[in-house]
Amino acid sequence: MQRWRNLPRLAGPAFFLAMGSLAVAQTTLDREQVLRASEAALGGEVSGEYRFTDIAGQPVTLESLRGTPLVVSLVYTSCYHTCPMVTEYLAGVVRDARKVLGKDSFRVLTIGFDAANDTPARMRQFARERGIDDGGGWQFLSADPETIAGLTRDLGFTYVASVKGFDHLTQATVLDREGRVYRQVYGDRFAAPALVEPLKELVFQTPPAAGLLTSLANDVRLYCTVFDPSTGRYRFDYSLFVEIFVAVTCLVVVGWMIVRTWRRTA
């Protein structure tokens, strides 16, 4: 799987905005180092104090979004190829996931990491051009450079400025209900299960306060929500439980017949 997009190979030194200051970048990023930084973020908590602005100019904090799994995708709006393509592909996977996991089972955040240019107006235009309705569980957010620096560090997301705009790791991050990094998904056209399976695990995790029936129902949905390679979509398949029921019934019948025969001959 292709994990990186256009990692820079420049003839001379490159300069990029990182952690709020200008720094000299290597002419070529170390791919293994980039991936290690991303994987090292797994299990870490993303600060709930980060503050963003939505496309209506309203403040949003990560703390206010906790309690529901989150899919976080970072883009820059002046990108005319990969970021739009990745976002549109992600939208298709999200639609399929919500059909089987539930409309409000998780939320999606698309965040502009080019703090100087990814204004609420630019994010609104980016969402509209992708045909995505901001709201309904998907928000497009802007932030200041300090917030972007901290967020990208917590998410293990690497980006540098280049002559084309930005070169960056193509990554979607799944956060659990408490804001911890649960899974990293790489590539511009990743396999749907790479995103849906971790979401399925998080969505159907039963809170301790839930009742027995809720727990059993979620367990059934967890095992019966399966990916169909022939259609490339998820569906409900209860055949496993039907087979188990039939097998148990047969065992009970056979056992009853053995006991009955033993009693007659005893």
pTM flag (> 0.85):
no
Integer Cα distance of 176 and 204 in angstroms: 12
Model pLDDT, residue 120: 98
Task: Please state, for a pLDDT cut of 90, what percent of the chain lies above it.
Answer: 55
Residue 148 above 80 pLDDT?
A: yes
3-class secondary structure, 246? helix
- Give the count of alpha carbons within 13 A of 183, CB side only: 16
Residue 29 has φ and ψ, to the nearest 5°, of -75, 145
**Cα separation, 117 vs 113, whole angstroms:** 9
Strands, E assignment, the chain: 4-5, 14-18, 21-25, 51-54, 59-61, 70-75, 107-112, 138-142, 159-162, 165-169, 171-175, 181-186, 225-228, 233-236
pLDDT at res. 19 = 30
As separate numbers, helices (DSSP H) first and strands (DSSP E) second, the chain gives 7, 14
**pLDDT tier for residue 8 given thresholds of 50, 70 and 90:** very low
What mean pLDDT comes out for the span 33-45? 94
Q: 197 pLDDT exceeds 90?
A: yes
Residue-level pLDDT at 91 = 96
Mean pLDDT of 118-134: 93
* Of 248 and 92, more confident: 92
